[in-house]
Amino acid sequence: MDQNNLIVYLEFEDGRVADVSLELLTKGRVLASRLGVKLEAIVIGDDLTGVEQQVFPYGVDRLYKVSDKRLYPYTSNPHSAVLINLFREIKPQACLMGATCIGRDLGPRVSSCLHSGLTADCTALEIGDHTDPKTGKEYKDLLLQIRPAFGGNIVATIVNPECRPQMATVREGVMKKEVFDPDYKGEVVELDANKYVSDEDFVVEILDRHIEKSKINIKNSPIIVAGGYGVGSKENFQLLHELADTLGAEVGASRAAVDAGFTEHARQIGQTGVTVRPKLYIACGISGQIQHIAGMQDSSIIISINNDPAAPINTIADYVITGNLEEVVPKLIKYYKKNSK
């Protein structure tokens, strides 16, 4: 088997490669170097001009471009057919995709057709060895697919020893996006779509598309004021908005606060919400369960405001304010305004 490559499926919309794809290329570069294989990427769509300029700095050795009017916008069958047939040809060791609407649709189709297995929503990816506990057989250099399992009670390392490609999806923001070398140059391979898709793959026609863009952008905010169940009500969340406005921050939330209807789902941070890495994270009335921590633990500075001095979030906080947030937050607003003049 060939298997001297690791491939990332790129999402491309409005002339831009999606952030999640660039994050996966960053991680893919590290994994490919560790394995001593090529980092490859594939982009499928209509007008794919400029994709190479966007992805080569991330260390892509080979970019496959499959361009055809019928391949944009994304539909399940044609994109699956391209990947399935190409993977049979190039036999990648591993394939990474974003855990996005597209990746969640495409990944399982490709994986089930190739009988390869797939781990969804990985929070870390590494290369490592594995010994089968039953047979004692040793496997070298597998993709270790790490993610919380059993409701977040354990962090599982999942391996796929025999079948290829080893497939994993990762949500946006979980991996860091970092240019590898601005002058890096790879090779472009243009593929003829007709070789990979057939007319039967185009049974679905998109008649209209509407993309709803959320105005809430917690992912890129340098400061986040996040509220939990301890905030107590929708009205009290206004206090957090006031603090956020004062600091030039965005408001985030725990799932318990979202489930209680205190704020919108788009603000949820954690395993099933957004992953953030702000310079400052102020956690108000958040206990710090693993599923929440998973989405904010890489924040540069964490301040916890909690009336329970033993709240688990305090163990990862740089500063802890023990007290009732209804008293603490107005004081923060007052003294910040007073001292920042």
Instruction: Please state the closest distance from residue 229 (CB atom) to ligand FAD, in A.
Output: 3
Is 299 annotated as ligand-binding?
A: no
Distance (Å, whole) CA 271 – CA 107: 19
Question: If DSSP codes are grouped into helix, strand and coil, which group holds residue 210?
Answer: coil
| Binder of ligand FAD out of 292, 302, 314, 317 (CB under 6 A) | 292
| Binder of ligand FAD out of 303, 307, 316, 333 (CB under 6 A) | 307
Instruction: Please state the closest distance from residue 246 (CB atom) to ligand FAD, in A.
Output: 19
User: Which of 289, 286, 319, 288 is closest to 301 using CA atoms?
Assistant: 319
> Which residues in the 147-206 window bind ligand FAD by CB under 6 A?
151-152
Distance (Å, whole) CA 283 – CA 302: 7
| Binder of ligand FAD out of 55, 97, 311, 317 (CB under 6 A) | 311
Instruction: Please state the closest distance from residue 106 (CB atom) to ligand FAD, in A.
Output: 23
DSSP letter string, 213-270: PPS---TT-SEEEEE-GGG-SHHHHHHHHHHHHHHT-EEEE-HHHHHTTSS-GGGBBS
For tokens 């001297």, the residue is 4
Q: Taking the chain, what is the end-to-end CA distance rounded to the nearest angstrom?
A: 67
> Which residues in the 218-237 window bind ligand FAD by CB under 6 A?
228-230
Is 93 annotated as ligand-binding?
A: no
Examine residue 26 and tell whether it contacts ligand FAD (CB under 6 A): no
CB count within 10 Å of CB 341 equals 5
Nearer to ligand FAD, 41 or 256 (CB): 256
| Binder of ligand FAD out of 221, 270, 281, 282 (CB under 6 A) | 270
User: Could you tell me which residues come within 8 angstroms of residue 59 by beta carbon, excluding any fewer than 6 positions away?
Assistant: 25, 29, 32, 33, 39, 180, 181, 184
Residues in the annotated binding site: 254-255, 268-272, 285-292, 306
Residues of this chain that bind ligand FAD (CB under 6 A): 151-152, 228-230, 254-257, 268-273, 285-287, 289, 291-292, 295, 305-308, 311, 324-326
